[in-house]
Structure 1
């Protein structure tokens, strides 16, 4: 691997990290939630049948106790509901409520609006087309294990 390749990788990491940090700051709604809380709501949003608290903790790479605290807060705010498992009465399934969906959709909308405006204000049409073409290879990077 050449020094140029490493520098390119470093530059890409830096710009992507800075963009992600900027996007986090550009959502007033999102600032009311921690990164783990936003991520947990997003996981629940994408889950059709809900998830077990232990599954959420595992995906978020946090302890079951920490996830339990997050879920208790969500329950108080009305973002989730807990339902007993039909197959195992000892288990509880966590599902997102309409209020929870609304919060996470608001966060995503605020970020998308900021990014759309930033693209319009800072990039030429050619640059926007270049970014569009870069989405496929960037997606490959995200999917790489």
Structure 2
């Protein structure tokens, strides 16, 4: 077991990562128009293409009923399409519309632009190098189950 002093950096890291995530969410005007789960659902569809509503619900770790409400809103906004499955006509496949794809890419672009501006304005070249080197270990932490 580590001592309390060694453990402090863990708490500091959690705090700063949480604050950065909240800040990034606020820096996208486009993202503010959708809930976190709606944005995440669009991201999954961009990554995986067409998915069944039950697959999306499972990936988001929410009920099928909650996913149904999210999909209804995204459909209303013109961000997704519902098409009958080619293999099983009883099933519906959800995919992004062109507007949906443009929306998710615009959100990412807005956040990337803000983050690049913030890094350039606040970090030295050496600090920017440290951030680049931190990506690999942070990715390992994110992928840890």
Q: What TM-score bracket applies, with the shorter chain setting the length?
A: over 0.9
Which sections of structure 2, spanning at least 5 residues, go unmatched? none
Q: Is 2:106 the counterpart of 1:106?
A: yes
Aligned structure 1 segments of 4 or more residues deviating by more than 6 angstroms: none
| 1:4 shift after superposition | 2.4
Q: Which residue in the other structure is 2:28 paired with?
A: 27
- TM-score norm. by structure 1 comes to 0.96
Three-state SS of the structure 1 residue aligned to 2:115 is: helix
CA distance in 1, matches of 2:20, 2:43: 19
After superposition, the CA RMSD in angstroms is 0.9
Q: Is 2:65 the counterpart of 1:70?
A: no
Q: Which residue in the other structure is 2:140 paired with?
A: 140
How many residues align structurally?
A: 144
CA distance in 2, matches of 1:46, 1:110: 19
Q: Which residue in the other structure is 1:42 paired with?
A: 43
Q: Which residue in the other structure is 1:51 paired with?
A: 51
Q: Which residue in the other structure is 2:97 paired with?
A: 97
Q: Which residue in the other structure is 1:88 paired with?
A: 88
| 1:100 shift after superposition | 0.1
CA distance in 2, matches of 1:100, 1:2: 48
CA distance in 1, matches of 2:73, 2:13: 36
Which sections of structure 1, spanning at least 5 residues, go unmatched? none
| 1:5 shift after superposition | 2.9
CA distance in 1, matches of 2:7, 2:16: 14
Q: Which residue in the other structure is 2:121 paired with?
A: 121
Moved more, 1-10 or 86-95: 1-10
| 1:87 shift after superposition | 1.6
